[in-house]
Amino acid sequence: MSFVLKMVVRELRASWRRLLFFFICVAIGVAAIVTLRSIIQSLRTGLMREARATIAADVLVQSNRAWTPEIRADLDQRFALAPVEARSESIETATMVRAEHGAAVARMVELRGVESGYPFYGVLVLQNGKPYSHQLLANGGALVRPELLAQLGVQEGDRILIGGKPFTIRGVIDQEPGRRLGGFSLGSRVFVDLADLRSAGLLVFGSRANYQILLKVRADGVDRLTRDVRTGFRDRFVNARSYRSTEDQIGESLQRAENFLSLVGFVIVVLGGIGVWSVTRVFVRQKIRSVAILKCVGASNAQVLATYLLQVALLAMAGSLIGVALAAGAIRAIPPSLTESFGGLAYGLTPSAVLQGLTVGLLVSVLFALVPLLDVRRVKPLLLMRGADSNVSAATQPAGARGAMSWLRRVDWLQAGLAASVGAALIGVAAWQAGSWRAGAAVSIGFATVAGVLYVVAFLLVRVVTPLAAAPWFPLRHAVISLRRPGNQTRVILLSVGLGSFFVLGVRALQGNLVSEFDVGVGRGGADMFIVDVQRDQVEGVQALLRERQDAGAAPARLVPVLRARVTGVRGREVTLENAGDVRGRGSLSREYVITYRDHIESNEEVVDGTFWSAGDPLPADAPVSEVSIEESIHERFNIHVGDEMRFDVLSRPLVARVTSVRHVEWGDARSGGFMFVFRPGSLAQAPHTFIGFVKGPDDPAARGRLQYDLVARYANITAIDGREIIARLQKVIDNAVLGISIVGGIALLSGVLILIGAVAMTKFQRVYEAAILRTLGASTRLLTMTLALEYCALGLLAGTIGAAGALGLSWGVTRFVFDIPWRPAPGLLAIGAASTMLLVTAIGVLASADVLRKKPLATLRAE
């Protein structure tokens, strides 16, 4: 053993520089894994700690409908049976706020009315160290966020109008318990007293509000009460969750995110692993003579193998440690703006992420290095007497059946078996990192497929270009000879560069698809203001005001009747759902839908099955069964067909309707809105409902502000949503997501380029000797450069093209099956990707061989 250790130290002393690239590969991959995992684990720890504060209670019972006396009585009965220690009610709703004196603008806010118990957990932090107490809200008090002060041009002590009722700003909110997960909100938060909210006239028919009961429950009663309310009130659209289920929910979604990102990290390590593999292969080639000498002076296979494997393991360990250091730096460098959107939680390296990174780094390097290292077993000391390394490179093979037999005999079964187990081990590591066997296998199979294609293409390339070896042009002839000479690096370069460009371009293409999906917002010229909760008697007044304020030429405002409904049953060709419980089994079909009725198809719609009723032909009011047109996805996801009968609960009134058509809706074009269910006019016209308006607001921001202000001043219950503002807010969330995706893409690009450099640079040792001989025979630098450039150009073009084709497939598959968004092929990006791969390979190939071209031939020939 001491011999092995001594040799490891001596060899590393001499060759660590040549293997520098080796641990850079490992370092980047490990850094990616450790960074991504650490961030998410920190995030989870922080959020878990605050799970109680997230709902500010032990149990939260909520509904989107106002509590009816019956439900309230039944709930009270349940609560009486449980160890409830305290209760408090709350209502959340989106509404408009304007200043009593000050700027003539109105802003949408998320208003929350609370009682004196709130919050049971967590602290409502106010600016200037003012402590929160419910006294601040009592009798017309309000707490607002600092941004609202700026938007309305008001300050603490001023009065604001909510629903026509004045409120005095008594404090500025710095931090609200539970409101951390940056995400998206319709507007800034305003707190008022629950009784004040109720009396502000906001909660009229049809308004969107969330009614909540916060409970403080003794620990042993939490789970039972939550379960009881959930099962007992499901059919009445009441839901309950405890801080524990919140914990689980946060935990689960973060676990998925963590696993997904770790898989990306793993893929980067695998790319690094391919780099390790190609480095090790060349390393073994260069060490053949040393191995032969060691064997000649008495070293056994095991000793030699141990010497080199230990070197690899040490380098991998060093690389992994550098990776951890890089991760620590990267986490420190996260811009504060990014952490703020996640509530400013503290990030740091977590021990489990570090351990995982080190393990994966070491495992992948050793696994990838093992297969080429086994070649040292076949090195025979005899080659020292011949001065060639013919023992390791494959000899020319006889063709035909005899060739196949002799090939079978020559297969190194140990190496083949080991390669198979390495493959299996990699699938295992991928599954471990992804937290799922399916995802792990999918990634591994994807890699294996691209690798297989690249291998076959490399083989074909050599076949195809063979005739060019007789070309009259010297550089072309020799470039071709280089591609197919014994021991050529054609396959290695194609494999590593092809896989690298596949992954990098794949991530880029996906990024493009995701980002452009986010771009679909409100188009210019389309509706950019949405007016909701318009009551029937307000329709005319609202329309008149809008007509007056809209810019000339703008499409007239349209007010569409809307109702809210739930599906409570389906009787159809393929699906029969007897009651609301069955519907819940079908996932999102049980959610609350906004429905409408009209007698025509909108411009962004198209009937794909059945027939839409004709205009001006309402259903008789007493018809037993109504008619409904469903959106395509309802048909596809839930197998509901034309002719099927559906039962709805429309504001507690049952409604039966036959499906008479299926519509395709162009969701990107939301000028006329989009509805999953459109009913035939008739019975619904008599049902109580509100109107929603799609309006092209004035372009001038001041005019928009005034319009919102006046609308709200006249009709206190109306909410005017400024699409532009929402999109700006959405954009911020998206920007963070895009930044995240770009960072991952950037790491992939960096590692891809590094692997490219490594793979290409490694092959130069092959041509040093040849270049020296050609030079002795009179070849000029220009001629040699041209030959090199042609060879690498062919390799780069091919690797880039295959990588781009693979990326196209990857982006298609992922957008279609994972993200479920429309696929954009991005041919420009892929063409640029393939071309840059070619240029990069050519440039790196020629540059890496620059010293070969510069070197005096005699020195090279002597060294050989």
Partner 1 sequence: MIELFGVSKSVPSGSSTLTILHPIDLAIPDGQVVAITGASGSGKSTLLGLIAGLDAPTSGRIVIDGMDITALDEDALARLRGRRIGFVFQFFHLLPSLTALENILVPMEIAGVPGARTRALALLDEVGLSERGHHYPSQLSGGEQQRVAIARALANDPPLLLADEPTGNLDSTTGRQIIDLLLNVNRSRGTTLVLVTHDAELAAVAHMSIALRDGRVVSQTSGTADTRIPASASRP
Residue 384 interacts with partner 1 (CB under 8 A): yes or no? yes
Q: List the structure tokens of 179.
A: 């409101």
Q: List the structure tokens of 612.
A: 């839409």
In angstroms, what is the minimal distance from the CB of 757 to partner 1? 24
In angstroms, what is the minimal distance from the CB of 249 to partner 1? 58
Residue 300 interacts with partner 1 (CB under 8 A): yes or no? yes
CB 208 within 8 A of CB 534: no
Residue 3 interacts with partner 1 (CB under 8 A): yes or no? yes
For partner 1, the closer of residues 385 and 408 by Cβ is 385
Distances (CA, A) of 708 to 6, 152, 719, 791: 81, 12, 8, 67
Near partner 1 by CB under 8 A: residue from 179, 295, 478, 549: 295
Closest Cα partner for 627 from 635, 617, 636? 617
Closest Cα partner for 55 from 174, 181, 173? 181
DSSP 696-725: ---SSHHHHHHHHHHHHHH-TT-EEEEHHH
Stretch of residues binding partner 1 (CB under 8 A), selected from 7-15, 110-118, 171-179, 218-226: 7-15
For partner 1, the closer of residues 303 and 836 by Cβ is 303
The Cα 833–Cα 502 span in angstroms is: 9
Residue 102 exposed, middle or buried by CB count within 10 Å (0-12, 13-18, 19+): middle
Stretch of residues binding partner 1 (CB under 8 A), selected from 299-307, 509-517, 567-575, 645-653: 299-307
Residue 393 interacts with partner 1 (CB under 8 A): yes or no? no
Residue 6 interacts with partner 1 (CB under 8 A): yes or no? yes
Q: List the structure tokens of 176.
A: 């609200």
Near partner 1 by CB under 8 A: residue from 81, 302, 355, 404: 302
Residue 220 exposed, middle or buried by CB count within 10 Å (0-12, 13-18, 19+): exposed
Residue 294 interacts with partner 1 (CB under 8 A): yes or no? yes
Q: Which of residues 341-380 bind partner 1 (CB under 8 A)?
A: 380
Residue 297 interacts with partner 1 (CB under 8 A): yes or no? yes
Residue 381 interacts with partner 1 (CB under 8 A): yes or no? yes
Closest Cα partner for 104 from 727, 549, 527, 547? 549
DSSP 443-512: HHHHHHHHHHHHHHHHHHHHHHHGGGGG-SSHHHHHHHHHHHSTT-SHHHHHHHHHHHHHHHHHHHHHHH
Cα 448 to its chain centre, rounded Å, is: 23
In angstroms, what is the minimal distance from the CB of 181 to partner 1? 56
Residue 385 interacts with partner 1 (CB under 8 A): yes or no? yes
Near partner 1 by CB under 8 A: residue from 10, 49, 218, 573: 10
For partner 1, the closer of residues 617 and 864 by Cβ is 864
Distances (CA, A) of 216 to 114, 115, 242, 342: 15, 14, 10, 27
Closest Cα partner for 206 from 93, 375, 311, 121? 93
Residue 856 interacts with partner 1 (CB under 8 A): yes or no? no
Near partner 1 by CB under 8 A: residue from 2, 128, 614, 686: 2
Residue 298 interacts with partner 1 (CB under 8 A): yes or no? yes
For partner 1, the closer of residues 15 and 175 by Cβ is 15
Rg value, the chain, Cα: 35
Cα-Cα-Cα-Cα torsion 526, 528, 534, 537, nearest 10 degrees, comes to: -50
In angstroms, what is the minimal distance from the CB of 299 to partner 1? 5
Residue 290 interacts with partner 1 (CB under 8 A): yes or no? yes
Residue 382 interacts with partner 1 (CB under 8 A): yes or no? yes
Annotate 463-477 with three-state secondary structure: HHHHHHHHCCCHHHH
* Cβ-based neighbour number of residue 438 at 10 Å: 9
In angstroms, what is the minimal distance from the CB of 376 to partner 1? 12
Stretch of residues binding partner 1 (CB under 8 A), selected from 12-20, 607-615, 680-688, 755-763: 12-20
For partner 1, the closer of residues 246 and 290 by Cβ is 290
For partner 1, the closer of residues 297 and 346 by Cβ is 297
Near partner 1 by CB under 8 A: residue from 293, 445, 621, 831: 293
Residue 863 exposed, middle or buried by CB count within 10 Å (0-12, 13-18, 19+): exposed
Near partner 1 by CB under 8 A: residue from 69, 335, 387, 616: 387
In angstroms, what is the minimal distance from the CB of 27 to partner 1? 24
Residue ranges of the alpha helices (H) in 614-722? 632-638, 683-686, 701-714
Near partner 1 by CB under 8 A: residue from 103, 138, 296, 515: 296
Residue with tokens 């540059």: 847
Near partner 1 by CB under 8 A: residue from 15, 210, 436, 736: 15
821-834 burial by CB neighbour count: b if 16+ within 10 A, else e?
eeeeebeebbeebb
Residue 19 interacts with partner 1 (CB under 8 A): yes or no? no
Near partner 1 by CB under 8 A: residue from 185, 210, 239, 301: 301
In angstroms, what is the minimal distance from the CB of 396 to partner 1? 9
Closest Cα partner for 834 from 512, 517, 508, 513? 508
| DSSP-based three-state secondary structure for 282 | helix
Closest Cα partner for 194 from 121, 124, 122, 142? 142
For partner 1, the closer of residues 11 and 156 by Cβ is 11
In angstroms, what is the minimal distance from the CB of 354 to partner 1? 33
Near partner 1 by CB under 8 A: residue from 11, 89, 92, 228: 11
Stretch of residues binding partner 1 (CB under 8 A), selected from 20-28, 187-195, 297-305, 407-415: 297-305
In angstroms, what is the minimal distance from the CB of 48 to partner 1? 53
In angstroms, what is the minimal distance from the CB of 16 to partner 1? 11
Residue 289 interacts with partner 1 (CB under 8 A): yes or no? yes
For partner 1, the closer of residues 172 and 288 by Cβ is 288
Closest Cα partner for 202 from 165, 170, 148, 169? 165
Near partner 1 by CB under 8 A: residue from 168, 303, 633, 731: 303
Q: Which residues bind partner 1 (CB under 8 A)?
A: 2-3, 6-7, 10-11, 13-15, 289-290, 292-303, 380-382, 384-385, 387
